[in-house]
Chains A and B, each alone.
Chain A
């Protein structure tokens, strides 16, 4: 049976790992390579690394750093941040990314999802959606690390991303991110009923039970950072809780 994935998220900014609250208040968490090594030793299901360095246009991701992290990683690695073109995606795959996360550029460059998925397969393209709650149960898509409102409805955009060739949706609630008060279950429900590709829920995990609720709301996997950095809950503890709730998870080796 397919196991429910629990995915630690690493936010990378200028050579260090950070953690934010609602996309702000970045705190330093130290050395990225060391952290990847620990997660690999713990046999986590998958890792997502997002480079949130605000880079001037034209600057490319730090491929060398990605390579160093990928070398420590014998589980799937998704990399996002600054993936603006097919050639950047290609270089990331060559640097050890197994999947790439597209966010702002997927909207700003309408052909990009299709181009990358035709070349590398749709399974390697994750479309990352940062959503903010508005009135009438609507969620607006915000790009550029939570700074640029697009006017797009997140449900409509998720459907469109699937149609263009996305293999998974990485769904972040901006309102819940880093707050550790639980996921936005309505958002998860809305998006996972709208698409048939897997949805990874991100933003809000404070306790293992929060993660159980996110899966109950329709997510295929949960992704989190603060809970693993700031509490005693490890990915394994979250998986035990999921298992107790009847969701299959991968056994500890």
Chain B
């Protein structure tokens, strides 16, 4: 049976591209915030672009947090957060003030130390992942993925970081904590290797 992937609709992110890529990978993908559809999904994806604060406000406004916590934290449904969708997992965000996050993964979101580098960090950049991590199976080390962000996830627990990237500083390119995955880059926009990563996710 095809995996049934719910892309959480909280009015953030390039959901068309994500749905398109997941369907290309063989999933049944739907963009939804209806509780019963979220509960029926085999996999959940939290997309996102934009501001941390708006993301949290929208999750609250649509009453999504209790459902997501039940499905992901209690029932251990496979979950993938992309870009802001990954950053929202942190305990707090620090863009224009301090904002509380979902707190599923310990750590906080801070601005990249640009030094003389331009921000946002936008374009293709290579990542290094820990050996034997499922999300990157079949993907070579130093594969390029598409990034577009100015903030990054500083994880408290080192083992939560499964891939890193360097732009002025090392930062988390991907995280994993049990059934919870997150990528700072956009797999749906990273062509061959991005699609492979999504395939890996929907087959777990």
- On A, residues with C-beta under 8 Å from B are 1-5, 40, 43, 45-46, 67, 70-71, 73-77, 93-99, 118-124, 167-168, 196-198, 220-221, 250-251, 253
Contact = CB atoms under 8 A, between A and B. Distances in A.
Contacts of B167: 2
Nearest to A99: B148
5 contacts: A3-B123, A70-B17, A95-B16, A96-B14, A97-B14
B50 A250 contact: no
A71 B144 contact: no
Given A121-B51, A196-B114, A253 B189 contact: no
Given A98-B14, A121-B84, A220-B122, 20 more contacts: A2-B124, A2-B167, A3-B123, A5-B123, A43-B192, A46-B123, A46-B146, A70-B16, A70-B17, A74-B24, A76-B189, A98-B148, A121-B50, A123-B148, A123-B149, A167-B122, A168-B120, A196-B119, A220-B123, A250-B124
A198 B50 contact: no
B100 interface: no
Q: Which of B16, B125, B148 has the most CB of A within 10 A?
A: B16
Contact of B20 (A2, A71, A122, A197): A71
Interface in B85-122: 114, 118-122
A77 B50 CA distance: 17
B71 interface: no
Contacts of A250: 124, 144
Contacts, number: 108
Contacts of B182: none
A74 B166 contact: no
Contacts of B188: 74
A96 B124 contact: no
Contacts of B120: 122-123, 167-168, 197-198
B194 A74 contact: yes
A119 B50 contact: yes
B125 A1 contact: yes
A123 B13 CA distance: 11
Given A96-B14, A253-B192, A220 B126 contact: no
Interface string B1-43: 0000000000000111100110010000000000000000000
B189 A75 contact: yes
B121 A76 contact: no
B115 to A, nearest CB: 11
B72 interface: no
Interface in B40-79: 49-51, 54
A119 B54 contact: yes
Contacts of A122: 120, 150
B141 interface: no
B191 interface: yes
Nearest to A121: B50
B124 A74 contact: no
A198 B195 contact: no
A116 B190 CA distance: 24
Nearest to A72: B20
A93 B9 CA distance: 13
A45 B194 CA distance: 13
A141 B136 CA distance: 46
Contacts of A93: 14, 16
A111 to B, nearest CB: 17
A221 B122 CA distance: 10
Nearest to B147: A2
Given A45-B124, A70-B17, A75-B146, A1 B50 contact: no
